[in-house]
C-alpha cells in the first residue's frame, strides 16, 4: 500500500500587491493554519517519508511549518513543475517516487491540487466533489492498493480523509 498526502499551500499574503506571485509569503492566517495541520498530522501518526513541494515561497513556508511538527525525517524535493501545476504532470511526479517510500506528501497550488485530488478519488464518488474549492492548508489523504508508485491510476485512490484548517481551529 502507498499513502499520499496532498496539501494546498496555506493562506498567502497580498500585502505587497506589486510583489511577484512566486515570492509571496504566508499571511498571518497561513502562519497559524500550517502548524495546526502539522500538529494534526502528528496526532494521527502521519509520517510522509518524501515531500514533493512547489518552490514558491508560500508552499515552502507551508511545508516547513508542517515538517517542523512531524516526528519523522522526510526527504525534500522542491520541484518547479509544482508551481502552476498541471494535474497530469503532478501525477507523473507521484508515479516517479522511489518505491522505498511508503508515503509521500505533495504541497502545491490550486487549481491543480483540486483537479488532481478529484481525479484520484475512487469508490463511487464520480459525481460529487468532497473538497469544495479546496481551501488553503487543507489536507487530503489517499491510500492506494499498489506496491509501486508507478501503478497509481486515476480513480484508484481510497479517500481516507479530508481536513480543512477551520475544522482544527476557528482562528485558522
DSSP 148-169: SGGG--TT-BEEEEEE-GGGT-
54 or 73, higher pLDDT? 54
Peptide bond into 111 cis (omega under 30): yes
- Grid cell, residue 1, equals 500500500
Cα(78)–Cα(63) distance, rounded to whole angstroms? 10
Q: For the residues 66-70, what does the mean pLDDT come to?
A: 95
Which tens digit of pLDDT belongs to each residue from 106-159?
999 999 999 999 999 875 444 456 787 889 999 999 999 999 999 999 999 999
Q: What's the pLDDT score for residue 170?
A: 59
Domains with residue ranges and CATH for the chain = 2-143+157-167 (3.40.50.1240)
Q: What is the mean pLDDT of the chain?
A: 91
Assess whether pLDDT exceeds 60 at residue 85.
yes
The number of residues in the chain equals 172
Q: For the residues 43-49, what does the mean pLDDT come to?
A: 96
Which tens digit of pLDDT belongs to each residue from 11-39?
998 776 777 778 889 999 999 999 999 99
Q: What's the pLDDT score for residue 124?
A: 43
Q: Which residues pair with 3 in a beta bridge?
A: 103, 143
CB 84 within 8 A of CB 109: yes
26 φ, ψ to 5°?
Answer: -75, 145
Q: What's the pLDDT score for residue 1?
A: 96
Residue 55, SS3 per DSSP: coil
Percentage of residues in the chain having pLDDT higher than 70: 93
Q: For the residues 46-71, what does the mean pLDDT come to?
A: 96
- Grid cell, residue 89, equals 504532470
Q: For the residues 75-82, what does the mean pLDDT come to?
A: 96
Please state whether the predicted TM-score (pTM) of the whole model is above 0.85.
yes
Amino acid at each position: 500500500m502507498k499513502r499520499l498526502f496532498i496539501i494546498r499551500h496555506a493562506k498567502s499574503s497580498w500585502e505587497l500587491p506589486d510583489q511577484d506571485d512566486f515570492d509571496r509569503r504566508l499571511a498571518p492566517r497561513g502562519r497559524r493554519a500550517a502548524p495546526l495541520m502539522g500538529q494534526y498530522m502528528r496526532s494521527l501518526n502521519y509520517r510522509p517519508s518524501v515531500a514533493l513541494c512547489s518552490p514558491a515561497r508560500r508552499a515552502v513556508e507551508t511545508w516547513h511549518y508542517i515538517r517542523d511538527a512531524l516526528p519523522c525525517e522526510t526527504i525534500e524535493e522542491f520541484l518547479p513543475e509544482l508551481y502552476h501545476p498541471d494535474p497530469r504532470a503532478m501525477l507523473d511526479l507521484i508515479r516517479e517516487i522511489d518505491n522505498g517510500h511508503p508515503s509521500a506528501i505533495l504541497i502545491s497550488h490550486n487549481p491543480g491540487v483540486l483537479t488532481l485530488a478529484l481525479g484520484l478519488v475512487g469508490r463511487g464518488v464520480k459525481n460529487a466533489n468532497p473538497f469544495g474549492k479546496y481551501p488553503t492548508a487543507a489536507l487530503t489523504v489517499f491510500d492506494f492498493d499498489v506496491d509501486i508508485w508507478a501503478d497509481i491510476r486515476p480513480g484508484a485512490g481510497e479517500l481516507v480523509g479530508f481536513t480543512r484548517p477551520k475544522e482544527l481551529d476557528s482562528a485558522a
